[in-house]
Copies of this chain bind each other. A is one copy, B any other.
Amino acid sequence: MTYCVAMSLEKGLVFAADSRTNAGVDQIATFRKLHKFMIDGERSIVILSAGNLATTQSVISLLNMRLNSDQPNLFGARSMYEVATIVGSTCREVIRRDAGQSQGNVDFGSSFIVGGQLHGERHRLFQIYPEGNFIESTPDTPYFQIGEIKYGKPILDRVVDYQLPLKDAAKCALISLDSTIRSNLSVGLPLDVLIYKSGSFDLSNHHDVTNEDSNFRALGEAWSQGLREAFAQLPDVEWE
């Protein structure tokens, strides 16, 4: 499985993804699920992927191969909306090609989160379904998740709002990933975390969080400790 989360907030975007893939418990591997496409000062695009690894890899490969081609492509798109349509149609194309010759009961589906900014537009965030259609985030619903989403959702539901500072949003994404990793074997380190400040056209605030990352370890320990303290301070339930 996989777990990816992204938020579109007042000040910019936050992306976070694990890197574990698995086909059964004895076929576990590390594949990055955060992909960047950029032209300095002009466009910054980040794509997170989940689902069938063959499909997601093909989609990302085709998007890369076509960057400077005559086909609709991420460097030619004139809006983030157009970027989302290109990712969606590429996903449909790959699934049509591969699923047409399916021999068994394989799920070829993949989901994507696509976010970024093009010069002249504000930053935007989209979730793309396996069918290639998509939705865009709004201030009311400023985050999207794909993959193994349930374990890490309660903390997002309680903490994330549109005004949340980017630094806190990144912390919240890490906590959401930490909760998922603790409860589900199919999500694992290292993590990719990227913080994009609106208008900066800079995708370099991108961090590789490994098991040795003292920031992540300290955060996880502080969160466990904080949860236990919050639990210890709960009022007693006084039923008659």
**Is A233 in the interface zone, CB < 8 Å from B?**
yes
Near B by CB (< 8 A), chain A positions 219-239 give 219, 222-224, 226-231, 233-239
How many copies of the chain does the oligomer comprise?
A: 2
- The answer to whether residues A219 and B235 also contact, given A153-B183, A227-B158 and a CB cut-off of 8 A, is yes
Bound form: Cα–Cα A182–B175 in Å: 18
Q: Can you give 13 contacting A-B residue pairs, CB < 8 Å? A: A154-B179, A154-B183, A158-B182, A158-B224, A158-B228, A159-B231, A168-B231, A171-B237, A174-B237, A218-B235, A219-B237, A226-B230, A226-B231
How far does the alpha carbon of A153 sit from the alpha carbon of B170 in the complex, in Å?
23
State whether the Cβ of A60 lies closer than 8 Å to any Cβ in chain B.
no
- Kindly state whether residue A215 has any CB partner on chain B within 8 Å: yes
- The proximity string for A residues 153-181 relative to B, scoring 1 for CB distances below 8 Å and 0 otherwise, is 11101110000000110111011000100
User: A122 near B: Cβ within 8 Å?
Assistant: no
Q: Which of B158, B228, B233 contacts A222 (CB 8 A)?
A: B233
Q: Are B172 and A154 in contact (CB under 8 A)?
A: no
The docked-state distance in angstroms from the alpha carbon of A205 to that of B108 is 50
Contact partners of A150 in chain B: CB under 8 A: 150-151, 183-184
A207 an interface residue at 8 Å Cβ cutoff? yes
Assess the B207–A234 pair: CB atoms within 8 A: no
Instruction: Given A151-B153, A153-B183, answer yes or no on A215-B231 (Cβ-Cβ < 8 Å).
Output: no
Task: Say yes or no: A219 contacts B234, CB within 8 Å.
Answer: yes
In the complex, the answer to whether B154 meets A231 with C-beta atoms within 8 Å is: no
Cα(A175)–Cα(B158), bound, Å = 13
Closest Cβ of chain B to A232, distance in Å, is 9
Task: Report B-chain residues with C-beta under 8 Å of the C-beta of A227.
Answer: 155, 158-159, 227, 230
